[in-house]
Amino acid sequence: MGLSKWLHPLTAQKTEDGTYDPSPFTLALGTSTKTSYIAQNYETKYTGNKPILVACTDDGRMKMKNDKVFNTGNHPIEMFLPMLHFRDAGFTFDIATVSGGPVVLEMWAYPTKDEHVKSLHESVQSMMEKPKKLADIESLDGYAAIFIPGGHGAMVNLPESVELGRLLHEAHDKGLPTVTLCHGPAALLATKAGEKEFAYGGYKSVCFTDKTDGTTPSFGYLPGQMPWKCQEALETQGIEIVNTSETGATNVDRELITGDSPNAAQNLGVVAAPILVEFHAE
């Protein structure tokens, strides 16, 4: 079994449950045992008691156009690295999913030797296993911001969630900081769920590009072409995607703070944390 795995280094690997993990080539070049986390000295920190609402996916199965199912979820670096900076700036967290089911992570991308990530993960693990249900959050009055981690899993059920859309409309109306990265911006499409008007028309954002997504099946990151295109769907609704590749870039447009890829996780945390602190300054 181990030999057959390495005979096909550019082919997505079928797991025991029939889903597909990325190829050995992708795992070797595209994942890391440690993150790029560098702690910052935040001279001014948040001293309030409002947590950041972390809206995660509880569905890690993405059916591709060829009907193969990609084993996805929230990317652990895209989730925990920005959260490390939010924590360092004085914030705590409240975690929620669509169904109230456990948060699903892309464990094949977990930075297994990063003690910072492992410690933070351990501190929020009980919330991840038993998160709140988005429908049970009546308003954002008690929250400091919304953070939507990336990973292809953010495209599975979050974009169709009427309840997430309701909360994002509220955040938009209040100018409450909304932070997301990579494929996480797909969740912004939830604002049009239930025949509502999309909240972010005319905004600028970065995200993981369709061009790159389209190439990944050729080296086995994805087991087939995407069921739909993140960038295209956002642009169709009137968001201007300002990046053409993934360079670790971030973008701030009003309350919306975005990063383009896992490589942006460190930069996004550094950029966003002070903005969140300043938003809540008395």
Q: Going residue by residue through the chain, which has 282 residues, state the pLDDT in tens, using 9 for 90 and above.
A: 344 444 478 999 999 999 999 999 999 999 999 999 999 999 999 999 999 999 999 999 999 999 999 999 999 999 999 999 999 999 999 999 999 999 999 999 999 999 999 999 999 999 999 999 999 999 999 999 999 999 999 999 999 999 999 999 999 999 999 999 999 999 999 999 999 999 999 999 999 999 999 999 999 999 999 999 999 999 999 999 999 999 999 999 999 999 999 999 999 999 999 999 999 996
CATH number at residue 210: 3.40.50.880
pTM value is 0.96
Domain membership flag for residue 207: yes
Residue range of the domain that includes 97: 14-38+48-279
**Residues belonging to the active site:** 182
Neighbours of 215 (CB within 10 A): 12
Q: Residue 243: inside a domain, yes or no?
A: yes
Instruction: Give a yes or no: residue 3 inside a domain.
Output: no
What would the two tokens of residue 258 be?
Answer: 């975005």
Q: Residue 128: inside a domain, yes or no?
A: yes
Within-domain flag for 8: no
The answer to whether residue 4 sits within a structural domain is: no
Number of domains in the chain: 1
Assigned domain for 43 exists: no
- Nearest partner of 257 among 152, 183, 146, 96, judged by Cα: 146
**Residue 236: both structure tokens together:** 């169709």
Domain-embedded: residue 5: no
